[in-house]
Chain A
Amino acid sequence: MSVTMPRLTRREFFRVGGVGVAGYHLLPMLAPRNVRAASKVEPRGGAEVTILLFLSGGASQTDTFDVKEGSWTPPDFDIRTVTPGLRLPVGLLPNLSRQTGKYCIVRSIEAWEIDHGRGSYYVQAGRLLSPARVKEIPSVGAVIAYETAGRRKESDYLPAFLAMNVVTSAGMQLVGPGVLPASCGPMALSSTDPPPFLVPEQERDRFRRRLEMLKDLDAGWRQEDSDRGRLFRELDGKYQGAYPLLGNPRVSEVFKIASDEHQRYGSSALGDACVLARNIVQENAGNRFILISHGGWDLHRNAYDKTAKVNQYTLCTELDSALGSLLEDLASRTDEHRRPLLDKALVVCMGEFGRTTGELSTQKGRDHYRHAASALFAGGGVKGGKVLGVTNETGAKIVDPGWSQKRSIYPEDVLLTIYSAMGVDWTKKVTQTLSGRPFEYIENISPIGYMRFSEVSELFA
């Protein structure tokens, strides 16, 4: 196959102009010949949106969801059996300890990588970081945006894929649309700032006036066949994408964080992101995948030191208030069909790898560890109140994977499970890519050779 092969054909953005019109510009169009399914599978379906809460840096499994006790354990972790078979550090995760019926903990996760950049890439892309392919491999969020494009309603105005608080300097890189249309890529926001598309009430008239002037003065450079080149059309396409958000009075509702909710969610950037995620799920306006990053879990030093700016306590408190409140609200709120939001929102909480176990290191911390890690799953059909997988007494070794495949659960299995829940056929592949190698949504190739990845169906049973 020649590398001069053109990129995937895609239709140009529809030009919709005007303010408040449906987000057709977000609807990706690919020539169908480029995407093929390899075999017949029946995705489970049921979930309409996925929230991936990513514990960036790699959370210690033995200090959170797979807690282990030893001489190193501070008493105020308050480790207790909260339901039969489930021990949790109630001192660190009081809210989540009360809601065990809503989620399933998986203790048999294994990572392939022990480097932050490559590990967090793996979770988003479901494969090894290959420099030769990095530009063409899309994020799981982009695949979902692409696959669910047909479900967009006329009134949808939110982008399908949102990313919040991904701080690139921490080694985590936000994976983009790859070979898929650019409109499937993430819209990256920070929950600590007002979103850039909130136009204050008192400025709306003026904003409209300015827009009209802009339209008038810049029409020539923005025309369909700009005689200055394609870049101008692309830039204009992004303006077309911004207009429905900027002119929309709903946006200020959705992106509002009331001070009592800010507090209830833990008064943190993560908490705010979770408030927004809840609002976005409730709004049901075209969003399908939210990636929220929670940084700081790379506790090599002084992990239990409460005087350290970031430590096991501060991180767990943030996580517990944010995720705990999110689960509460998703469970208690309903959509227009009186269906609890938690039924249609799949929530996955995990990091890029686990951490070393037992006594703390000489630096009083825990280092990167790939052979055991934990994750939390809730909503989207997941049956709560369960634990899958058992590790040995230090938490360093998985002794019972706890699922049909009788091996560790890898990031590929997690992504496949998300695809299945979202009703996406994971055997599909994009045959035409820049490198000539097809992009398979899930590739049955692991870093150690052939491996057949599978849905963790035990989560739903």
Chain B
Amino acid sequence: MAGVKRLAALGCAFLAGMAIGFAATGKDHSKSAQPSGPAAASLTSEVARELSLAPGGKVQRQNYIDDFIFGKMEADGVPHASLTTDTEFQRRIYLDLWGRLPDAVDVRQFAADQTADKRDQLIDRLLGLDYPHKPGYDDYKLGPWMVEEPFLMRWTYWFGDLFYNGPIQGVEARNVFRQYLYYNLKYNIAYDHMVREMLTATAVTAQVDGPANFLTRSEVDGIRDTDVMHEDTCDEIAVNATKLFLGIDLECVSCHDGAAHLEGINLWLSRRKRVEFWRQAAFFGNLRIFRPTQNNQEFAVLEGPPLRPEAHWRGGGNGYRMDAVSVLRVARDKNAKVYPEFLLTKEQPAPGTSLRAEFARMITSDLQFAKATVNLFWAHFMTVGIVDPPFGWDLDRQDPHNPPPAPWTVQPSHPELLEALARDFQEHNFDLRYLMQTIVKSSAYQLSSRFEGPWKPAWDRYYARKLVRRLSAEEVYDALCKATNVFSEIGVAGTDKKVQFLMETYGPVFDKVDPAVKRFLDSFGRGNRKTTPSEAMPSVVQASLLLNSELVKSKVLASTKESLVGTLLGRTPALSNQQLVEELFLATLSRFPTAEEMKKSTGFLERYRDKGAEDLQWTLLNKLEFVVNY
């Protein structure tokens, strides 16, 4: 409780904190958070060993995030890890922002770089926000679209996962939706705009219209594949929109009132009635999603009077009927009073307005939209959301000044920070890259995962150290290819593109990957953007694949074309064992070996030079750190 009071005080200092946050985007903020470290010009492994020890001492606060995070730890007497090393930071930020490992040469360069704000510079480069500092900057020639492709690939893929851009509607629709996401990210379009566009889209066929594909992903088939259940589709849209954009999971109350079901799960939802859910679905009553032809993957997304006389063109669009059959849910109550009314504010659409436009306006202008979005990104970068899981918000447990009755506790770990982030995001025009930049420039993001001494689980929610995550299936596979320089070509379905990284594909299912790669990905928990969400649970099969699959074993062979091991062994003049070890560590683990690792590894190479180099990279791929962002 002391902590909560202290936090309230911090909340008052919130504006001051914001000022720091804004300064962080500029170039001139003076700070010297980076360890000066020993002279890094000639980085021997001995020096690297010292660098790998996290620097001690006080962590500099970089922006308002740090005021909240470190302020709370100070108030509650919670110790925290030191700032992570430059090399660990570099690997972390590459994986989080680009979804792939840095090049070995970049690791070397970054370690040797003496610039005080090199971390900020790297962040800006990876985000494509370094253009104002580039020579000859003028705002027509240079802009956020100058961002490098890996960033766009990573986040296009990420949003594809988020919006279920999977197999159901076929290749064409998937690709056009994918391109829509890509260009919105490339031009850094405001997120609220994107969301409104998707919620209000119309298209004679979604196969050529990107944003229309958001709604079609909620389409519900009837018993025959060609039928569309209109009211069920409205239900699914309501569930998905409130989940993705407000963080609220209405799935339970879509079938029954919250009372007598959700008391132990979610206080706010336990007070919701099913009729309130129907009122969200009713915003989509005028929508006509139907299949214009027998092609069961093609959808029209229309509104208003039918454009053609055929019966199926008249499907939907006549409101949300309570007597309609449901194939997904318990039958609707025919006597319920159902009209569009926004869940959070009870606002009803003004007469004569477009229901969907009104819903889109209400949802994106609510602070909860900003809160849910910043929390989702926070969870990506910090592994655990301030509200966690990010789609499990309990709105009755948000306000520390008005705490919920015992035994409930306030849900967010840092409610004031959440509010500050949300308002900052709103004031910056829902700029996603600004949001990412703010989070990753904080020292909170840059703490080490390593904590000397016994750790208490309760400190996790303080973010007292970096919380590690297993890489996604796609990240693991891409890391394997990048580390070994052995790629297999992937054809992107519906295009003539050939790509090397999984993150460059347009999504799971259609794109032509080698069957062995597909199995590898499935074992590592790749989702299908439809029924199976991706997950990162470790398994025995995963361990077996890394230890023993042909996929992994062939990548470390010197004889495999263009493999890193082959290239290194083929160098003239020949590399010393020490150089060989260093190169393999840099490429695989994105760090220098410690002195002890160097000693063990060179000892091994002395015994079995060529085969040993293969064995060594195999070993490094099986070091646990390889599959983890730590």
Contacts and interface: CB of A to CB of B under 8 A. Distances in A.
A361 B225 CA distance: 12
A2 B407 contact: yes
Interface stretch (B173-181, B301-309, B530-538): B530-538
Contact of A232 (B467, B545, B628): B628
Contacts of A132: 251-252, 262, 265
Contacts of A228: 449-450, 468, 630
B61 to A, nearest CB: 24
Nearest to B220: A115
Interface string A172-207: 110010000010010111101101111100000011
Given A173-B531, A235-B627, A3 B265 contact: yes
Contacts of A437: 264
Contacts of A4: 407, 409
Contacts of B468: 228-229, 231-232
Contact of A187 (B540, B549, B622): B540
A437 B601 CA distance: 52
A461 interface: no
A242 B544 contact: yes
Contact of B265 (A195, A198, A436): A436
Contact of B167 (A169, A217, A232): A169
A57 B265 CA distance: 34
B339 interface: no
B451 interface: yes
Interface string B519-530: 100110000101
A114 B450 contact: no
Contacts, number: 160
Contacts of B265: 3, 132, 435-436
Interface string B447-489: 0011110110000000001011110000000000000000000
B537 A182 contact: yes
Interface stretch (B3-11, B138-146, B611-619): B611-619
A211 B619 CA distance: 8
A3 B519 CA distance: 37
B532 A207 contact: no
A392 interface: no
B625 interface: yes
B516 A169 contact: no
B509 A209 contact: no
A14 interface: no
Contact of B531 (A117, A207, A227, A246): A117
B548 A246 contact: yes
Interface string B488-524: 0000000000000000000011000001100100110
Given A214-B623, A222-B624, A242 B543 contact: yes
A229 B460 CA distance: 10
B541 interface: yes
A217 B549 CA distance: 21
Nearest to B262: A132
B542 interface: yes
A206 B615 contact: yes
A131 B255 CA distance: 11
Given A132-B252, A228-B468, A221 B600 contact: no
Contacts of A198: 548
A171 B251 CA distance: 19
Nearest to A301: B225
A227 B451 contact: yes
Interface residues of A, number: 66
A235 B538 CA distance: 6
A1 interface: yes
Nearest to B168: A171
A213 B619 contact: yes
Contacts of A229: 449, 455, 465, 467-468
Contacts of A368: 223
B328 interface: yes
A362 B289 CA distance: 23
A188 B604 contact: no
A383 interface: no
A436 B264 contact: yes
A190 B611 contact: no
A234 interface: yes
Interface in A212-268: 213-214, 216-218, 221-222, 225, 227-229, 231-232, 234-239, 241-242, 245-246
B382 to A, nearest CB: 13
Contact of A168 (B262, B516, B531, B620): B531
A367 B224 contact: yes
Nearest to B627: A235
Contacts of B519: 190, 193
Interface in B538-573: 538-545, 547-549
A235 B223 CA distance: 43
Contacts of B630: 228
Interface string A101-113: 0000000000000
B388 interface: no
A128 to B, nearest CB: 9
Nearest to B520: A196
A402 to B, nearest CB: 27
B532 A238 contact: no
A242 B540 contact: yes
Given A169-B509, A231-B470, A131 B249 contact: yes
Interface string B72-92: 000000000000000000000
Q: Which of B262, B265, B516 has the most CB of A within 10 A?
A: B265
A336 to B, nearest CB: 27
Contacts of B450: 227-228
Contacts of A217: 597, 600-601, 619-620, 623
Given A2-B407, A196-B549, A221-B625, A169 B538 contact: no
Nearest to A196: B544
B105 interface: no
A238 B625 CA distance: 14
A364 interface: no
Contact of B528 (A169, A197, A235): A169
Contacts of B264: 1-3, 435-437
Q: Which of B167, B544, B625 has the most CB of A within 10 A?
A: B544
A130 B265 CA distance: 13
A271 interface: no
Contacts of B449: 228-229
A238 B469 contact: no
A231 B628 contact: yes
A131 B252 contact: yes
Given A169-B167, A231-B468, 16 more contacts: A169-B532, A188-B523, A195-B544, A196-B541, A196-B547, A197-B548, A207-B547, A211-B547, A213-B619, A217-B600, A217-B620, A221-B623, A229-B455, A235-B627, A246-B547, A436-B265
19 contacts: A159-B540, A196-B541, A196-B545, A196-B549, A207-B548, A210-B619, A213-B615, A217-B619, A225-B454, A229-B467, A232-B624, A238-B542, A239-B622, A241-B543, A246-B547, A363-B224, A367-B224, A436-B265, A437-B264
Closest 7 pairs (CB-CB, A-B):
A436-B264, A196-B544, A241-B540, A131-B251, A242-B543, A2-B407, A168-B532
